[in-house]
Structure 1
Amino acid sequence: MAMSAVARETVFALRRQIAKIEGTLPERLQAPAGAVSDAGMAAADRTVVRRGIAVARPDAFLRTGIGRLDAALGGDWGGDLGGGLPKAALSEIHGIETRDAGAVAGFALSLASLILKPSLILKQGPQLPVLWIGTQEVFREAGFPYARGLHAAFGIEPEQLLFSEAPRLADALWVAEEAARMTALAAVILEVRGNPQRLDLTATRRLHARAQSAGRPVFLLRQAAEPEPTAAPVRLIVSPAPAGPRDTVAGPLAGSIGRPAFTISIGKSRTALPGQFILEWNPDERIFDERRIGEERAKNPVPVVSLSRGRTDPAAAPGAVLAFPTVGSPAAGDQPSRQQRAAHLSPRRAG
């Protein structure tokens, strides 16, 4: 017997309500025109419903700028979206060991820099701050981000990063839930340690629902934690990657330390696509660059001005550029050599 129109609309309304709670939209696929057969109108009433992000706003995702990573995280939904981290959602950033806390914090600050970058460039509207919440145990173990280095590395002013130190995890969760519903914050960062029992599926569902309601991202930083069921649609495992040498006009500078690098592994995403990426953070342009695993870094894609006609190619560099060795103090009356000048006038060295 065919389903009545009233009952069918009731079912569709319930499905839309459930999809709204889960943060997805149902897509209704109509039966083909030739579906009506001996079964009468029953075949015509059949509707295939699949869940997924049907229509997303252009600003619904926080794109890292790495196409392969963004597509693996949020999927290529068409248009110029290109996927990425959902902005109005709870996202997990894991550190497998305690010593990875610096890399996890640096990656979270890089994401916060990407969020604040448009407002800093346009200088329009209020400069919303980022709230970082943690317990005394977390801050005692991992410490606080260095305020004077925030601007140099991430373009974040010290007054744009607020801290809330809670004595217990229950207090930190309460502060995070209240802050997640506020639109006066650009993002909320909650840092916890291990796998506490209080941070269960119900607690993460509340954080995810508050983030969806406010349209702001909530980043859950988990230090030395094992993966467990949560309401976060995305889980990234972050660890430090070896930094490459510093790039110069003459090529990589041997013995130097280049940009900070992160190894990113996808533990959970909407597309369920696994992947591992090595990202370098460019503090000057505040963007990510990808370093292919097992391959040399891609060359700078910026086109170079062609040589003038009638001239030969420039001569090669006279020799390899090396880091300056440590030398002793100059003798009295001697002019200090280039190697003996102040440290801030020389390239940074390893060791």
Structure 2
Amino acid sequence: MAISAVARETVFALRRQIAKIEGTLPERLQAPAGAPLDAGADADATPGADLTIVRRGLAAALPDGFLPIGVERLDAALGGGLPKAALSEIHGLETREAGAVAGFALSLTSLILKQAHGLPVLWIGTTEIFREAGFPYARGLQASFGIAPEQLLFSEAPKLVDALWVAEEAARMTALAAVILEIRGNPQRLDLTATRRLHARAASAGRPVFLLRQAAEPEPTAAPVRLIVSSAPAVPRVTVAGPLAGSIGRPAFTIAIGKSRTALPGQFTLEWNPDERAFDERRGQRTENSVPVVSLPRGRKDPAAASGAVLAFPAPRSSDVGSSATGGQPPPGQRAAHFGPRRAG
């Protein structure tokens, strides 16, 4: 007796949930044209239709559906990379990580533009975002990421509602290689419904939408992937003779998987190679920065000594410094010239 479509979908949903708990992926296979369906299929189903088959083991990722980051362990943990036709979140837990989040997003943009055939990328943000973090530097884009200035477009919206509207309209456009939306914090308007719309538009257009979030706490969204990005200390540059002391090497990021289709946790340290325009994983290398942040003054080898004992001086007598009514302060009109008027507000 054939199983109904509703019952079969229920079984598939349960198998997907079990696969997620076990850290495996469901495979979507396509039956050959004209091949008979199994006994569990409907009698009126079309031959050659897509059948969802779940089995143990990690499913092979489809190259056309994912953007490989280029680090084997990270791509495997994500099930093949970042989905191309979906919404992906890139989080920075603190405001000071805004530069690292933007740098990682630009690295992904560089990977996308290799396959975009001249299509530009649109970066959307509010006035508050660009005023706080600034705009990417055009010369740095070309030198570090191989992104020409005309390939990266910016849209500055006065309010969050305007930025969301621009992002939704841009996400449906196939004339863009990708859309980047940068949001600060956890605004109420960026709820599950808003992220569902962005995810649906991205899936319909077949283009990725990256949601950059400054100083944001994880919350339920429609994005299937959430990466938490922070800056990692750079190591000295490597030369033929060994590490070059006092130098600063490649930009480095610490990537933690907060959410993915495989539900596999992981934390990775990636270095961006501006020459190859690719990521490299740092494994088994020294990560502490041996270069002092501020150089010591010339002629001194040690920092200033600690302060000595605190002494208590007796309060001055009124006969020594003036009348007690003024508390030793100069009379009005004799205020020091470097003290300007205090502004209110």
Same fold at TM > 0.5? yes
1:282 aligns with 2:273: yes
Is the 1:27–1:50 Cα contact (8 Å) retained in structure 2?
no
1:34-183 mapped onto 2 (5 Å cutoff): 57-74=62-79, 83-118=80-115, 125=117, 127-183=118-174
1:19-34 mapped onto 2 (5 Å cutoff): none
Amino acid at match of 1:116: L
Distance 1:51 1:195, change over 3 A: farther
User: In 2, Cα distance between the equivalents of 1:248 and 1:86?
Assistant: 36
User: In 2, Cα distance between the equivalents of 1:182 and 1:99?
Assistant: 32
User: In 2, Cα distance between the equivalents of 1:259 and 1:157?
Assistant: 21
Normalising to structure 2: TM-score of the pair? Answer: 0.69
Q: Which moved more, 1:247-256 or 1:159-168?
A: 247-256
User: In 2, Cα distance between the equivalents of 1:9 and 1:90?
Assistant: 29
Q: Which residue of structure 2 lines up, in the alignment, with residue 265 of structure 1?
A: 256
Amino acid at match of 2:108: L
- CA drift of 1:59 comes to 1.6
Amino acid at match of 1:219: F
Unpaired segments ≥5 residues, structure 1: 17-23, 33-47, 75-82, 120-124, 298-324, 329-351
Distance 1:15 1:156, change over 3 A: farther
- CA drift of 1:57 comes to 4.0
Distance 1:13 1:262, change over 3 A: closer
- CA drift of 1:58 comes to 2.2
- CA drift of 1:159 comes to 0.5
Structure 1 residue runs of 4+, over 2 Å off? 9-16, 24-32, 48-58
Distance 1:183 1:15, change over 3 A: farther
Unpaired segments ≥5 residues, structure 2: 13-25, 31-36, 41-51, 287-294, 299-345
User: In 2, Cα distance between the equivalents of 1:272 and 1:55?
Assistant: 16
Is the 2:27–2:53 Cα contact (8 Å) retained in structure 1?
no
Is the 2:121–2:152 Cα contact (8 Å) retained in structure 1?
yes
1:232 aligns with 2:201: no
Distance 1:243 1:200, change over 3 A: same
Distance 1:233 1:10, change over 3 A: closer
Amino acid at match of 2:285: E
Which residue of 243, 251, 260 maps to 2:234? 243
User: In 2, Cα distance between the equivalents of 1:95 and 1:240?
Assistant: 10
Q: How many aligned positions are there?
A: 260
- CA drift of 1:55 comes to 8.3
1:201 aligns with 2:192: yes
